[in-house]
Structures are given as C-alpha cells and as structure tokens.
Amino acid sequence: MENKVVLFGAGKDAEKLMEKYAGSTVAVIDNNKSGFWNDIPVILLSDYKEKYSEYEILIASARYSKEIKEQLLENNIFNFRVPDELFENKDVAHDEDISHDNWMKYLIELCDKPGAEILEVGSRCVNISFRENFKRAHYTGFDYYPGKNVDVVGDAHKLSQYFEGKKFDLIFSNAVFEHLAMPWVASLEMIKLLKQDGYIFVETHYSYSSHERPWHFFQFSENALNVLFPDVFGIKCLKKGCSNLIKGEFSNYSSDYLQGRIVPGLYCHSEFLGKKVREVSESISWNDILLEDVVGSTQYPKPHK
C-alpha cells in the first residue's frame, strides 16, 4: 500500500500526478485556493503544519518548484520531494520494443537470419561490440576510424560510395547521429544502401552531456529522427520513441528566474525504426523536398488565444 502524501499545487501538473496519487493523497496545499478538489481538502501551508505534518509533501508544479521549495524551507519543512512523474512528458512517444534496453534484442529477432546483410554505421568498439549479437546474418562494421570491429573505414556522409552495388537488409547505428555534421546527408546515404523491405534503426541522444567535442553537433527527438527518414524517401516509420527519463533542474549558474526550477520532458535516448517500402530515384536529394513532405499532417502548435 502506498504511503499517504500531500500535494503542493493544484494546477495542471497536479492533475497529471493525480493519475497515480489520487488514492494516496490526503490533502492539497494551494496558496490561492480553498475548499475541495476531487473530494480532497485544499489547505494552506499553516494547515499542513498543524494537521498533516506527518505526511510527505510532493511538489506538484514544475513551473513554481523553486518557489515552493523556498517556501517549505522557510517554514522548516524538509519532508518533501519532487516525484519522478513530474519530470515526464506524456506527449513524448515511448516504445518499449526499441527502448534503450531492448532495441538490440528486437533487431536480432527481426533481422538475424541466414543470408541477411547487416551494416552498422559507427561500429568501432569504444564501449561495446554488437557484431557477436548477429549469429546467422553477415555483419559489416563501418566507422570513421579503423579499430576493433571495423571492416570498412570511411565518412558516413559518403556511405554509399564505399558499397557500390551492395545493399543491406538492416542498417543501424547507436550513439552516432549526434556526431554527424550533416545528419540529413548521412540519412539519405543509408537509405540508398537499404534493400526494399529492409530496416533502418537509429538510436541517438535526445538530452545528454556534451561529449567528444568539438564533434558533438546535434541532439534529436524521436520526431527529428522521423524527419530524417521520411516517407517521401520510401521509409515507413514502424516505431519511434524516447527512453531513460532525466530529472533535470536549472543550476545556480542559470538566469535568476530559472534557478532551481525543474526541467520536465528530458530523455537521454531517442529511437527510430523504419522500413523501406519502396525504392526512390538515386538522384533524389533534400533540395527536392517540401516541408509537408517531412512533417506530414502535423503542424506547429497554434498560439493560445
């Protein structure tokens, strides 16, 4: 049974938290409201100190987290925390099959077959080698530098030039796209080398520490990866998502108004799995592409009236 808690805040963030904590919430603190909220008493901080101090406070506002923390500390209240759920963003897609912990197992089941040709872009063994995961297929490792687990050395922006006349059933990369100076060029090169009905998989970073500078160029949402592998290039998105939620907070080095405020919606990894459903002209380029070709029926959120 969950411990009883008190939420501090009765706005939209609190509504999200109620999806999990409704059954364990005994009261809601709000400086500007009173009465009841979903049959739960809305109280002042002074009421908490008098009647509810045995219960842990969950900060229920991302925007005002800094102010809430300061108010609690000023009142010598230390029994509080920011729940992990407040860092989530439900609008960010998640697919368990291709999440950081599961994508390799999923690719093995999908593509490790006798006669299958598999290409890893960025294969040099830095932390881990994926070659041994493919027991039945033929694996080729490609990297910018020679080294362990590298069969072909070259520039991913010119990938198709190194494999003239050859195509692959699966092309994948892990923690590479953030280091590509022109990822839209590399994505098209990968598409050119993919067989019809072949698969493309990319995992990269959505939010992560700056690393391998100065060649750390980009960070990608799952939708950004979808844009790099659009339907107009013959790629059908099968799965996309982000994984490994990060608990972000602005530091004391930030602008005054941001210091201490939490940053929701940060995920370490982003993933994309696509399938080549039709061939496209070898001469196709990004110069031929319109905005609607990559964003589809979506649009930038309209301003609030």
- Which DSSP helix (H) or strand (E) runs through 224? helix 222-228
pLDDT at 1: 45
pLDDT score at 100: 97
Q: Strand 168-174 to strand 117-121: parallel, antiparallel, or no bridges (unpaired)? A: parallel
State phi, psi for 177 to the nearest 5 degrees.
-60, -25
Alpha carbon 194 to its chain centroid, in Å, reads: 25
- Domains defined for the chain, CATH in brackets: 5-87 (3.40.50.20), 96-295 (3.40.50.150)
Q: Is 166 helix (H, G, I), strand (E, B) or coil?
A: coil
Determine the Cα–Cα distance for residues 29 and 9; give it in Å rounded to an integer: 6
The structure's pTM equals 0.89
Per-residue pLDDT of the chain (305 residues; tens, 9 = 90+): 468 999 999 888 998 898 889 889 999 999 877 788 888 999 999 999 999 999 999 999 988 888 999 999 999 999 999 999 999 988 899 999 999 999 999 999 999 999 999 999 999 987 778 999 999 999 999 999 999 999 999 999 999 999 998 999 999 999 999 999 999 999 999 999 999 999 999 999 999 988 889 989 999 999 999 999 999 999 999 999 999 999 999 999 999 988 888 899 999 999 999 999 999 888 888 998 899 999 888 888 888 77
Strands 152-153, 138-143: pairing kind: parallel
pLDDT at 2: 65
Which is nearest to 159 in space by CA: 204, 192, 126?
192
Round to whole Å and give the CA distance between 134 and 116: 10
DSSP 8-state class, residue 175: S
How many angstroms separate the CA atoms of 232 and 288, rounded? 10
Q: Quick one: pLDDT at residue 212?
A: 86
